[in-house]
Amino acid sequence: MRIGVVTFPGSLDDRDAARAVRSAGGEPVSLWHGDAGLHRVDAVVLPGGFSYGDYLRSGAMAARSPIMRAVSEAAGRGVPVLGVRNGFQVLTDAGLLRMLSSHIGRRVMPELRKAFAYEAKRFEGFKIGCYDAEDAGFFTAHRDNLSPATAHRRFGLTLNLNDDYEGGELRFPEYGPERYRPGAREALVFSGAHLHEVLPVTQGRRFVLLSFVFGDEPTGS
């Protein structure tokens, strides 16, 4: 998988990001903020590190770089984009998080309303997880909404970013032995109250976009 790593003036963590991509089995592709294209990458990382010196609204400045138009267009097509620290600020100012919420929300929210008569309205941010066969990547059985800080989580969302791995299925042990594995760019949505687990990945790496969905309930602090 080719992963683009964007460098802005003043970036410090681009080399670390490239090293992380390489250690995860990907091929890092260096992208300069003045580039107009993404060189056919499969995903993009915007690393942290004081872009533009981390002065006033550095994210707003970086968001106007030529590369960000290509990143925005790619994100609209479903290409995964990860922002780290200062890079997350760039994504925020570029409107990409709003675009991601809108794109996924248009598919998920109406289905929740239809299936559960529940008016879901927002996501609890987005995270990218990696389950690696080298350490038998898994998640033990748990519920997502047991603490005061997570009680607002009505539904969990897991969206597979790839399918070139073995194992890693989701299972809901209270309801039977069935295993669930969405295809690449397909999602599984389930109640945050359901006991669930991620079975060990036995070959390759499973990359997944994770979030939680809720309505007007107050969030914990």
Phi and psi (nearest 5°) for 132?
-110, 135
Q: Can you tell me the distance from the alpha carbon of 124 to that of 158, in angstroms, rounded to the nearest whole number?
A: 13
**How do residues 193-206 score in pLDDT, each as one tens digit?**
999 999 999 999 99
pLDDT at 50: 57
Higher pLDDT, 96 or 69: 69
Average pLDDT over residues 171-196: 95
Predicted confidence (pLDDT) at residue 10 exceeds the cutoff of 80: no
Predicted local distance difference test score (pLDDT) of residue 217: 65
pLDDT above 80 (res 189): yes
Please report the pLDDT score of residue 8 as a whole number.
Answer: 82
Higher pLDDT, 84 or 175: 175
Please report the domains of the chain, with CATH numbers, ordered by start residue: 2-94 (3.40.50.880), 100-214 (2.60.120.620)
Determine the average pLDDT of the residues in 88-94: 73
pTM score > 0.75 for this model? Answer: no
3-state secondary structure at position 209:
strand
Tell me how crowded residue 11 is: count the other CB atoms within 10 A of its CB.
Answer: 22
Cβ count near 56 (within 10 Å): 8
User: What are the helix and strand counts (H, E) for the chain?
Assistant: 5, 15
